[in-house]
Amino acid sequence: MDGNAKLVPPVVKVPSEEQSTQLQASEEQVAALKSQLSNPIPQVDTAQAEWETALPKWKVLVPQTFTAQAGTTLELLEDDSILASGKNPDKETYEITTSLTGTNLTAIRLEGLTHDSLPHKGAGRSGNGNVVLTEFEVEIAGANQPESWQPVAFTRAWADHEQEDGDFQIGNAIDGKLETGWATEGQKKRENRQAVFLAETLFGYAEGSKLRIRLKHQSQQAQHQFGRLRLAVTSSSAYTEKEIPLKLQDWYSLGPFPTEGLSQNHGPEGAPIDLQQAFPSGGKELKWAKETKYVDGQVHNLSIGDNTSLYLYRSIQSQSSRRVSLSLGSDDAIKVWLNQAQVMVNDVNRGVAADQDQAVLDLKPGENHLLMKVVNYGGVSGFYFSLERESPLVPTEVVEAAKLAATDRTEEQVEAIRDYYRNQVSDNEQLKKLRQDLETSEQKKNEIEQAIPTTLVMQERDTPRGSYVLYRGQYTQRRQQVEPGTPSALPAMEEDSSANRLGLARWLVNPGHPLTSRVTVNRFWQQLFGTGIVETSEDFGNQGQRPSHPELLDWLAMEFIESGWDVKRMMKLMLTSATYRQS
């Protein structure tokens, strides 16, 4: 059998004793680390509590009127979401009005929610579950002047997911153009979605306000409407702060330096960057040069020669401590430092493309120094640099659960907040270490499991297929159903035995049923002597011949059973017998 080929299930693992011990130890280690990762960690939990209080508080808007221009049926559900059904037009615009109190509102949240009645139980109405929102428009009027509608302009929007193949960013929903839109990629992600729209100015009248909200689904993609949606407002400043952009200064380049490899420091590594400093190289002095041709988010080609290093530097200004994701590409190897600390390294030989590597930058308030080194091992060279869009929105369930007093949260809610905080937000070193250890342990456990040999087994179906007498042998002509059993001329299976393969196997080797043993030892005899004690070794029944020495056959059969079906022992017994040596 091909040892590399995967066995077709059902199979059982047959570990050696050593493997069993190793596996158990590594399983225990994984379980211990998992439990540490979910147990209280005072330092982390205190930071989590602070983070929770800073989460935006959302107020769900209760729709008062809701209409669909092209004839979709809209219905208000108990959780104040709106569900679409009935007619499913190619294009549709939903209009919702609501009253609200509160001033200094900053943002509106739109949730696309899944529902069992929608295609694939997703959040959209199209056949594949995808949604394209071409425009999201909001107007506001004071409660005292209900008909003087003023637009609420949005400057920025975030979505927890955007379809990646094509131009489907959330910003397309507030660009005033009906030909552009935000796609949720609902054909792949059949889950709740959220988008947050940041208002240009604070909104909300002191006397109360009316809002009129339009969701325009005017895409070329037919029926790409939300099937269920909910709206909320907040006065949180969380999104306003997010809006303050990073200031990315010009690039400077230094090099190329002939190099022995990625680890060779040509001068600027590990020290504060001084753009005036000169670096010796091959009898010359190299200096930093300002580069204005590099555009973020584009692949740039460099011609720096074989086995050379080029340094790239820029400063990044941030208003606050924040974490951003950096997406990189390089031809060939790359190393990146932030404020002199290495943040990523990849010693590879490759062509450059977008998004080959990712790095996380923990920016401090004020000026941050980003240094990159690209090493070209041969041929062409190049790099790619892009700061990714904002970190993902905190899932609505987490935000809503965090609003509740700790004592009012369900166990699932406590877990959801803790897991999200620990995995996505916290930069605690102890946690990082635990996660790394868990990863290593799980890898080790997998390696042990992979090394355990498997063997094929049989497995009974949960519900037996059923066997029937077939009239004249035709499979379409079923007569009565038959049950598994042994031929009536032979002893029956024991009553407590299951009527399956296992039962049959046990019946065959039952010491009270010597026929199997007799047939087997007779074949051994035939192998050695040329003729069996029963000459018709293939037929032991009424049609076969009588044994020449019935007592010998019985004795051998009993010996075989009592030896525990030991074939080698039986062979030896026969080969060393006086009878065999005579022949």
Spatial separation of the C-alpha atoms in residues 564 and 363, rounded to whole Å:
74
Q: Are 393 and 159 in contact (CB under 8 A)?
A: yes
Residue 538: which residues within 8 A CB-CB, separation 6 or more?
none
Pick the binder of Ca ion from 376, 441, 520, 522 (CB under 5 A).
376
Residue 351 Cβ, how far from Ca ion at the closest point, in Å? 7
**CB of 50 or CB of 165, closer to Ca ion:** 165
Residue 162 lies near Ca ion (rule: CB under 5 A): no
Residue 173 Cβ, how far from Ca ion at the closest point, in Å? 6
Q: Are 288 and 275 in contact (CB under 8 A)?
A: yes
- With b for 16 or more beta-carbon neighbours within 10 A and e for fewer, the 447-481 pattern comes to ebeeeeeeeeeeeeeeeeeeeeeeeeeeeeeeeee
Tokens of 249: 């200064």
Residue 372 Cβ, how far from Ca ion at the closest point, in Å? 16
Helix (H, G, I), strand (E, B) or coil at 337: strand
Spatial separation of the C-alpha atoms in residues 226 and 214, rounded to whole Å:
12
Pick the binder of Ca ion from 280, 379, 544, 550 (CB under 5 A).
379
- With b for 16 or more beta-carbon neighbours within 10 A and e for fewer, the 259-282 pattern comes to beebeeebbbeeeebeeeeebebe
Residue 175 Cβ, how far from Ca ion at the closest point, in Å? 5
Q: Which residue minimizes CB distance to Ca ion?
A: 180
**CB of 223 or CB of 236, closer to Ca ion:** 223
The DSSP secondary-structure symbol of 423 reads I
Judged by CB under 5 A, how many residues of this single chain contact Ca ion?
A: 11
Stretch that binds Ca ion, among 179-187, 315-323, 393-401, 422-430 (CB under 5 A): 179-187
Residue 245 Cβ, how far from Ca ion at the closest point, in Å? 22
**CB of 216 or CB of 418, closer to Ca ion:** 216
Pick the binder of Ca ion from 22, 172, 522, 537 (CB under 5 A).
172
Spatial separation of the C-alpha atoms in residues 345 and 325, rounded to whole Å:
15
Pick the binder of Ca ion from 26, 72, 93, 180 (CB under 5 A).
180
> Interface mask (CB under 5 A) for Ca ion, residues 125-154, using x and -?
---------xx-------------------
Which residues between 273 and 332 bind Ca ion (CB under 5 A)? Answer: 331-332
Residue 262 Cβ, how far from Ca ion at the closest point, in Å? 13
Stretch that binds Ca ion, among 66-74, 103-111, 368-376, 497-505 (CB under 5 A): 368-376
**CB of 334 or CB of 394, closer to Ca ion:** 334
Residue 350 Cβ, how far from Ca ion at the closest point, in Å? 8
Which residues make beta-bridge pairs with 12?
455
Q: Which of 115, 37, 27 is nearest to 77 (CA)?
A: 115
Spatial separation of the C-alpha atoms in residues 49 and 54, rounded to whole Å:
9
Q: Are 336 and 372 in contact (CB under 8 A)?
A: yes
Residue 156 Cβ, how far from Ca ion at the closest point, in Å? 15
DSSP 63-105: -SEEEETT--EEEE-TTS-EEEES---SSEEEEEEEEE--SSE
The DSSP secondary-structure symbol of 499 reads S
Which residues between 73 and 132 bind Ca ion (CB under 5 A)? Answer: none
Pick the binder of Ca ion from 175, 191, 437, 449 (CB under 5 A).
175
Stretch that binds Ca ion, among 143-151, 253-261, 373-381, 464-472 (CB under 5 A): 373-381
**CB of 366 or CB of 378, closer to Ca ion:** 378
Interface ranges with Ca ion (CB under 5 A): 134-135, 172, 175, 177, 180, 331-332, 376, 379, 381
